[in-house]
Structure 1
Amino acid sequence: MRDYIKKDPWNIIEEGFDPALNRISESIFSIGNGKMGQRANFEEKYSGSSLRGSYVAGVYYPDKTRVGWWKNGYPEYFAKVLNAVNWIGIDVHVDGEELDLATAKVESFTRVLNMREGLLQRQFIATLPSGKKIQVRSTRFTSIVDADNGVIRYEVTPLNFSGSVRFTPLLDLNVFNQDSNYDEQFWIEVSRAVSNGKAALTGETKKTQFHVAAAFDLALSLDGAEQALQAETMSQEKKVANVVEIQVAQDKTVSLFKFAAIVSSLYSDKTQIQSDAEKSAAAARAKGFDTMLKEHSEAWVQKWAECDITIEGDVAAQQAIRFNILQMNQTYTGEDERLNIGPKGFTGEKYGGVTYWDTEAYCLPFYLKTTDPKVARQLLVYRYKHLQKAIENAAKLGFKNGAALYPMVTINGEECHNEWEITFEEIHRNGAMSFAIYNYINHTGDSAYLAEYGLEVLIAISRFWRQRVQWSERRNAYLMLGVTGPNEYENNVNNNWYTNLMAQWTLNYTRESLAYVQQQHPERYAAIMAATKFGEHEDELSIWADIAEKIALPRDEQTGVFIQHDGYMEKDLQPMSAIPKGEYPIHKHWSWDRILRSCYIKQADVLQGIYTFEGNYDKETIRKNFDFYEPLTVHESSLSPCIHSILASSLGYEDLAYKFYLRTARLDLDDYNHDTDDGLHITSMAGTWMSVVEGFGGARVKQGQLHLAPALPKQWQSYSFRICFRGALIKVAVTEQAIILENESDVGLNLSVYGSEKSLPARQILTVARD
């Protein structure tokens, strides 16, 4: 754990420059707008350790899978989120001497991520080897109003001399991915152009042939007065630049404005993509820095008005939750059904792909409750559009008749993960896809989604489960053999409780959905029956009902808890407190063989299932399972602490709930797992939001009604959050004495508070005493 980020409710602040922390800060201070993102690399050249990263949504490269022993069914490639054109670069020379913070003496360094406005700011004083001292201030944002544009204001002030300042703003496609198999570069130059104050560069990805064009348009001012810009031009393979030199008197400030545009062939025709980028950069330049910043800031203010969480009395917790909300909104906007949420978002390259099961299990609840329902709907449509690929993925593994296995890792619907115990065995992801459909409909009331998209997905997934189980005469039950649950510290196990539970639930929900669509949308039902050839091969409804009734979901008679998987209770069940402190995290200190034989859980399996279907279990059952499994869980998955926090809240374990909340909330800010330098854990950030709203706030949706049962952590004086629910926007404020519900919309709502029915008319406030 590191503790160098200053605590502040609305800002992420780094004071002082420590090169050893720079790559961590590059992740933490990342910015994005759903269409592109940028790590917090320096604009000026930096020869120290840095992971340069500029990412464009939906653009990827299918890097050849590298494994020592090829197995049938392995995907041919691993999709890489590509490091794209470096658009932020501005080399700086002072009287011919290069500015490089790796060689300069740096003082009063401050880096700030202004979360209220989505703004990255940096300032420092540097003494160059010659003794010349300058002050530098930079301001950068990726506009959420003009989503193709990134804008930089870069200011230099000579402090102990008068002399020349030379800026070299550039576009550079000589970029690398840190995880490329053979140090390969993935971009080919298509075209470039450069003129006074302007430049453009277009690249094409190898194999996938995406085009990305970048352009910039410049402006220059001296002490606030705009200057005529006379630039030399530079043009070479994969790189274009302007060279702008100006004389600056001591204590005067020169400002370079770089208006950039990044356009991909997802949105622009390849024949005119560079022209489109040039026009976009010129339009940004015409609008001007101040106007673009004002519009961008106002848009962020509106976002915060819908999704902010306030916490009084705990600055660390307040800062952390806003940081998580910021990154979620920077990563995904729901405007394009072809895009999704990668585990690192726009902050790094690790893991590859653009979506895991994390999206449905963790991210969907955040978007369901914080914004327009169409945003969450787009996440589901994304999966629907990949249904045929999911059927092909299953067919590669031997499944038939339209059975679908959604990929563990994907960018276009094809499986691209190459670890056998995950690619072939971590099939619980299918359950997350089906539950997401139910979760969306239960929250929004959009039952029409079943007929339009959802039912086809449910049928295909149910067909997979039907073929994946096998009947055991000895146990008089359907078994699921050779799987890996969410807990990846146990591979190739039989009857993982969570996986079997998700299969059972899906089979039952699909049967209910078939009956609903048949009754409410008969024409669409007939079309689906014909398209899926439903029931032509066997009596699917009867078989699904039989499997759901008889699937193995064993409970331990001695302890009364659900058994995580066959054989788990035969392990040496020593609590994690028995592990010597010097051996954490165990995945960095133990052999894989030792981990697999141990009882230790990377992330909740049984508890994940209980969280998902909490309403099906009484408190005593939940308590027994939590008390049994929590001491055995090492939380070495970023997705684990939030589930424990939510369940601990529901059980009244206040200290544990808060402990797990803070761990998930500050996972990246405090670099808990010593891996923030690779990028942020975006999907676990959604879990942090769940920890507050579903955990401390007790928010649930039961049979289409919103239920609240807020608790107040003793570390907090009060807190508040907002929930979008069926057209209403409800602000929930929790104090020591009361729950204050404010309906900020024109839609009235009936809801339950501590189990008591309440009516909350439009634009009204309701106060309820704390239970």
Structure 2
Amino acid sequence: MNQDYIKLNDWSIIEEGFDKENVKSSESIFSLGNGAMGQRANFEEKYSGPTFQGSYIGGVYYPDKTRVGWWKNGYPEYFAKVINAPSWIGINVLVDGEPLDLNTCSRVDNFRRELNMKEGVYYRSFIATLKNDKKVDVKVTRFLSLDLDEVGAIRYEITAVKEDLTVTFSPFLDSGITNEDSNWDDKFWNTTSISSQGNQAFIEAHTMKTNFETCTFMDCQMEYKGKIQNKPDETEEKELWVGHAYQQKIEKGSTVAFYKLGGYTVSRNHKGANLVEAAKEVLGKATKQGFDALLEAQKKAWEGIWEMSDITIEGDTKAQQGIRFNIFQLNQTYLGKDSRLNIGPKGFTGEKYGGSTYWDTEAYCIPFYMATKNHHVARNLLKYRYNHLEKAIANAKKLGFTNGAALYPMVTMNGEECHNEWEITFEEIHRNGAIAFAIYNYFRYTGDYSYIPEMGLEVLIGIARFWHQRATFSKQKNKYVILGVTGPNEYENNVNNNWYTNYMARWCIQYALEQLDKVKAGYKEDYDRIIGYTKLSKSETDEWKEVADAMYFPFSDQLGIYLQQDGFLDKELVTVEDLPKSQRPINQKWSWDRILRSPYIKQADVLQGFYFFEDHFSEEDLEKHFDFYEPFTVHESSLSPCVHSIQAAKLDRMEQAYQFYLRTSRLDLDDYNKEVEEGLHITSMAGTWMSIVEGFGGMRIKNDKLSFTPRIPKEWDSYSFKINFRNRILKILVDKSGAHFELEGDHEMSIRLNGERLVLQPVAKNPVQ
């Protein structure tokens, strides 16, 4: 049974009623981020119950030494982890000397929290009866500024319910924090300076080993009956902690408001010696505006984001809430401002997967950012990989590859491989293919070819060299084979001839050869530079071609389908339908040995290949493979349901497509995998967007033009979305009567609708900036 305490609402995530069992899950679900930093929805006041404290800074990590009892050549020495940063949100509260703590209160009434996605603001309210029988009505407003992305803001209001009270606010900064996820309980932070100046305080600390220097800061004031108090009544400094105290007597029925601005300045953006001054400067900007103006600016900034990225669904609140939650979290995680950053599978909502970059970015996230931002945002994601090419070559060299072969890491913060499971580190090499596919996909969608001669061709050469060397010629098969791999389906390790991996390898080589010819013909200067640098020769590319032309693909003549890998049909082929529900999810109920011998698929490798290379296969091919593999798929990867939704929609199996859509869009809201307290599934949220735009909307690029084959679930009255296609803004509305298009700009645009050419005229002169 899935959790069901989140209330249905088109624009907000709402929890009503205080249940201690939901605290950790809600800390994930109500998380905040602004692309530069983020935090779980921990309470500002003390909470003595079970909690997962988490504040994170984009790009700041620690190389936690790998914990294994054995070692292999080429094995990464550390697992890079986004680390819990010094906390700035804390505000301890005393009511007539009694701590406000929802875990120990006599009663908690009218508890409500709301993540208002339209505004980018988190609200929390409750009435608490403390152990001393004092009663307070509390309202909290919190957001992380998009305009001043080093700053977050809190307004904490307390109303005396039944008698006069003395309230003490004790805001603090704390660098004595630890990670929930740590291999050796290393000390991640070294605190170097604690200072307090008036109503401001600062903690300077740097990460061990990586030496990221940070300043955590706060600026506080209290307001009662129109009177502002800036100067604290008391200041206390400890070894890893600094706090202030503000005390106020309040009359029955009256309200005292406490304001706290806080955040981080980091040596990634400022000189390490100037972090306190940088903090004072940004605080000066924030305090000059004031809380209310900052809040209005936040709402306006989010209005601009939603103007382009919103998807509306009429007639189905559950579906509407799901897609907006996904879009909201994607924009909280990454806004494309900094090419040094990327998208971690948990974003700023937890520590699982280390907060690092996976192949998810290229396979799932780039389409969302290409269509809802300008093309520079997606280009920055590709630039991130180009900037790490030398380390990808070094990663391959550690494993014995030569001559500039590049193996991009499965998990990385800085380009180095830092994953600590051998069957993934060494074997899940299909990630190389996702990098190359993203380059192809970027040009196909944006029409911006400049990335390839400037940067992308070097990446493609490194990847092609890897596949050429990784393939082995089998005399028995008279084909090239790829041995000892793990495909996207991580429930089968160390297999031979994973179809998806082999297909990707062939395609990558072919695509690299095509781009070499294209750059040679049209960008001679870039071509000469790249050939000179890589020392690529015709004899080498001839060898590439030989491997691609003779690649082996496991196939069943009896079933007429490609096999996931050699020997898949040797398994006991019992479908998921015949698997008792008490055995699900199998990754929490079964031994790894049993999973590896089973036919059950975490995410279907073959269908992932059919998704990427849809044009290579007929619809009949897709149907045959979908019918075979879907019944064995347990969807215990967050990346799985969206692809199945897209393909079910293409096959006009709308009920199935709709159910897969609900699963991917509400994966975290409904906690399908019983793990939401660890953090949200950020990268798969981009797949949710794809399941509507590419699945139900049927959007494709065909013959260099946009093409649509829209369908609508019976549960919906209509749905609409916007896309930015080559700097042209197109809005698509689909209802029961068909599809309707609205084009912004000055020039007409030709598209295809259900295979027929349609010329769209602009409805308003509103050119894209």
CA 1:534 to 1:617, structure 2 compared with 1: closer, same or farther past 3 Å?
same
Which residue number in structure 2 is paired with residue 597 of structure 1?
A: 597
Aligned partners of 2:482, 2:183: CA distance in 1, in Å? 35
Aligned partners of 1:256, 1:286: CA distance in 2, in Å? 17
Which residue number in structure 1 is paired with residue 278 of structure 2?
A: 276
Aligned partners of 1:439, 1:224: CA distance in 2, in Å? 57
Aligned partners of 1:608, 1:477: CA distance in 2, in Å? 23
Which residue number in structure 2 is paired with residue 581 of structure 1?
A: 581
Is the 8 Å Cα contact of residues 730 and 745 (structure 1) preserved in structure 2? no
For residue 443 of structure 1, the aligned residue among 424, 445, 448 is 445
- The residue type paired with residue 46 of structure 2 is K
1:304 matched to 2:311? The reply is no
1:140 matched to 2:146? The reply is no
Q: Secondary structure at the match of 2:762?
A: coil
1:123 matched to 2:125? The reply is yes
* Cα deviation, residue 224, structure 1: 4.7
* Cα deviation, residue 181, structure 1: 2.0
Is the 8 Å Cα contact of residues 78 and 353 (structure 1) preserved in structure 2? no
- The residue type paired with residue 444 of structure 1 is T
* Cα deviation, residue 196, structure 1: 2.5
Which residue number in structure 2 is paired with residue 289 of structure 1?
A: 291
Question: 543-552 or 475-484, which moves further after superposition?
Answer: 543-552
Is the 8 Å Cα contact of residues 353 and 416 (structure 1) preserved in structure 2? no
Q: Which runs of 5+ in 1 are unaligned?
A: 766-771
Which residue number in structure 2 is paired with residue 354 of structure 1?
A: 356
- The residue type paired with residue 641 of structure 1 is P
Partner deviation per Cα, 1:325-382 (whole Å, 9 max, x = no partner): 0000000011111100000000000111420000000111110111110000000000
Aligned partners of 1:45, 1:352: CA distance in 2, in Å? 27
Is the 8 Å Cα contact of residues 353 and 409 (structure 1) preserved in structure 2? no
1:157 matched to 2:150? The reply is no
Which residue number in structure 1 is paired with residue 12 of structure 2?
A: 11
Which residue number in structure 1 is paired with residue 71 of structure 2?
A: 70
* Cα deviation, residue 228, structure 1: 5.4
Which residue number in structure 2 is paired with residue 461 of structure 1?
A: 463
* Cα deviation, residue 219, structure 1: 2.2
CA 1:748 to 1:172, structure 2 compared with 1: closer, same or farther past 3 Å?
farther
Which residue number in structure 1 is paired with residue 253 of structure 2?
A: 251
Q: Note the 1:26-425 alignment, pairs <5 A.
A: 26-104=27-105, 105-227=107-229, 229-425=231-427
- The residue type paired with residue 579 of structure 1 is L
Partner deviation per Cα, 1:505-529 (whole Å, 9 max, x = no partner): 1111101100111011101100000
Is the 8 Å Cα contact of residues 347 and 355 (structure 2) preserved in structure 1? no
Q: Secondary structure at the match of 2:234?
A: strand
Aligned length: 763
Aligned partners of 2:464, 2:722: CA distance in 1, in Å? 35
Q: Secondary structure at the match of 1:539?
A: helix
Q: Which runs of 5+ in 2 are unaligned?
A: none
Aligned partners of 2:494, 2:125: CA distance in 1, in Å? 52
Query: TM-score, length-normalised on structure 1?
Result: 0.98
Which residue number in structure 2 is paired with residue 769 of structure 1?
A: none
- The residue type paired with residue 76 of structure 1 is E
- The residue type paired with residue 644 of structure 2 is H
* Cα deviation, residue 702, structure 1: 2.2
Q: Secondary structure at the match of 2:731?
A: strand
Q: Note the 1:587-626 alignment, pairs <5 A.
A: 587-626=587-626
Aligned partners of 1:702, 1:48: CA distance in 2, in Å? 55
Which residue number in structure 2 is paired with residue 557 of structure 1?
A: 557
Q: Secondary structure at the match of 1:404?
A: coil
Aligned partners of 1:225, 1:760: CA distance in 2, in Å? 59
* Cα deviation, residue 161, structure 1: 1.4
- The residue type paired with residue 13 of structure 1 is I
Aligned partners of 1:224, 1:72: CA distance in 2, in Å? 67
Aligned partners of 1:284, 1:259: CA distance in 2, in Å? 8
Which residue number in structure 1 is paired with residue 520 of structure 2?
A: 518
* Cα deviation, residue 83, structure 1: 0.3
Which residue number in structure 1 is paired with residue 570 of structure 2?
A: 570
- The residue type paired with residue 18 of structure 1 is D
* Cα deviation, residue 266, structure 1: 0.5
Aligned partners of 2:66, 2:361: CA distance in 1, in Å? 24
Q: Secondary structure at the match of 1:351?
A: helix
* Cα deviation, residue 279, structure 1: 2.1
Is the 8 Å Cα contact of residues 197 and 231 (structure 1) preserved in structure 2? no
Aligned partners of 1:633, 1:703: CA distance in 2, in Å? 33
CA 1:272 to 1:565, structure 2 compared with 1: closer, same or farther past 3 Å?
same
Aligned partners of 1:174, 1:230: CA distance in 2, in Å? 23
- The residue type paired with residue 123 of structure 1 is S
Q: Note the 1:472-483 alignment, pairs <5 A.
A: 472-483=474-485
Aligned partners of 2:744, 2:235: CA distance in 1, in Å? 54
Aligned partners of 1:763, 1:505: CA distance in 2, in Å? 41
Q: Secondary structure at the match of 2:3?
A: coil
Which residue number in structure 1 is paired with residue 722 of structure 2?
A: 722
Q: Secondary structure at the match of 1:45?
A: coil
Is the 8 Å Cα contact of residues 507 and 544 (structure 1) preserved in structure 2? yes
* Cα deviation, residue 449, structure 1: 1.0
Is the 8 Å Cα contact of residues 220 and 230 (structure 2) preserved in structure 1? no
* Cα deviation, residue 225, structure 1: 4.5
Partner deviation per Cα, 1:295-316 (whole Å, 9 max, x = no partner): 1110100100001000001000
Q: Secondary structure at the match of 1:288?
A: helix
Partner deviation per Cα, 1:96-152 (whole Å, 9 max, x = no partner): 111000001211000100000110000000000011000110000001111111000
- The residue type paired with residue 549 of structure 1 is D
CA 1:202 to 1:747, structure 2 compared with 1: closer, same or farther past 3 Å?
farther
Q: Provide the aligned C-alpha RMSD in A.
A: 1.1
Partner deviation per Cα, 1:25-70 (whole Å, 9 max, x = no partner): 0000001000000100000010001111000000000011111221
* Cα deviation, residue 223, structure 1: 3.9
* Cα deviation, residue 745, structure 1: 3.4
* Cα deviation, residue 749, structure 1: 2.0
Aligned partners of 1:230, 1:175: CA distance in 2, in Å? 25
Which residue number in structure 2 is paired with residue 434 of structure 1?
A: 436
Which residue number in structure 2 is paired with residue 763 of structure 1?
A: 763
Aligned partners of 1:521, 1:223: CA distance in 2, in Å? 69
Is the 8 Å Cα contact of residues 5 and 669 (structure 1) preserved in structure 2? yes
Aligned partners of 2:378, 2:182: CA distance in 1, in Å? 33
- Identity within the alignment, %: 54
* Cα deviation, residue 591, structure 1: 1.3
CA 1:95 to 1:747, structure 2 compared with 1: closer, same or farther past 3 Å?
farther
* Cα deviation, residue 274, structure 1: 1.5
- The residue type paired with residue 451 of structure 1 is P
Which residue number in structure 2 is paired with residue 673 of structure 1?
A: 673
- The residue type paired with residue 652 of structure 1 is D
Question: 569-578 or 731-740, which moves further after superposition?
Answer: 569-578
Question: 281-290 or 128-137, which moves further after superposition?
Answer: 281-290
Q: Note the 1:496-511 alignment, pairs <5 A.
A: 496-511=498-513
- The residue type paired with residue 728 of structure 2 is A
Aligned partners of 1:398, 1:650: CA distance in 2, in Å? 43
Which residue number in structure 2 is paired with residue 768 of structure 1?
A: none
Is the 8 Å Cα contact of residues 65 and 184 (structure 2) preserved in structure 1? no
Q: Secondary structure at the match of 1:352?
A: helix
Partner deviation per Cα, 1:563-595 (whole Å, 9 max, x = no partner): 110000121111111111100011111111111
Question: 749-758 or 673-682, which moves further after superposition?
Answer: 749-758
